[in-house]
Amino acid sequence: MSFLSEFKAFAMKGNVIDLAVGVVIGAAFGKIVGSLVDAIIMPLVGILIGGFDFKDLMIKVGTAEVKYGMFLQATVEFIIVAFAIFLLVRAINRLKKPEAPVAPAGPTTEEKLLMEIRDAIKQK
C-alpha cells in the first residue's frame, strides 16, 4: 500500500472524521461558554463579592505584573465548560437505546464431547 493510499484510508476512517467534527463543535461551544462567563457570570460574581472585575486582579513583582485574576477567570470558565459537556454527554447517553444483553454462547463441540465423556464416566 502506498503512502498516499494509506493516508487516505486513515483520514477517511469514521473516528478521524468524528474527532474533527468534535473539535470544531467544541471550539464553537468553548466560545459560547467563554462569552457567557466573560459577559454574564463573572461580572455578577464580582458584584456579589465586592464589585470588582476578576481580570483586574494582579500583583506587581518588580516591573512584572502577575495577573492571577485572568487565571481565576479561565479556571471558572473551564469548570463551567466541563460541567456543560458532562450534562450534554449525560443527556445523549440517556437518549441512546440500551444495548440488548448478549446471550451466552452455547458450549463448543469440544465442550459437548467432554461433557459426554464426563457423564459416561459418572454412569460407570
User: Which CATH number do you get for residue 12?
Assistant: 1.10.1200.120
Residue 85 placed within a domain: yes
Give the end-to-end CA distance of the chain in Å, rounded to a whole number: 62
Q: What's the pLDDT tens digit per position in 25-38?
A: 888 888 887 788 77
pTM over 0.85: no
Question: What percent of the chain is helix, strand and coil (3-state, nearest 5)?
Answer: 75, 5, 25
Its domain, for residue 92, covers: 3-98
How far is the C-alpha of 98 from the C-alpha of 62, rounded, in Å? 61
Which H or E run includes 117? helix 109-123
Residue 89 placed within a domain: yes
Q: Cα dihedral sign for 81, 34, 40, 44?
A: positive
- The residue count of the chain comes to 124
Residue 106 placed within a domain: no
pLDDT tens per residue, the chain (124 residues)? 688 888 877 777 767 777 888 888 888 888 887 788 778 877 787 788 777 667 778 899 999 989 888 888 788 778 877 887 788 888 888 888 777 777 778 888 898 899 999 999 998 7
Under DSSP, the state recorded for 40 is I
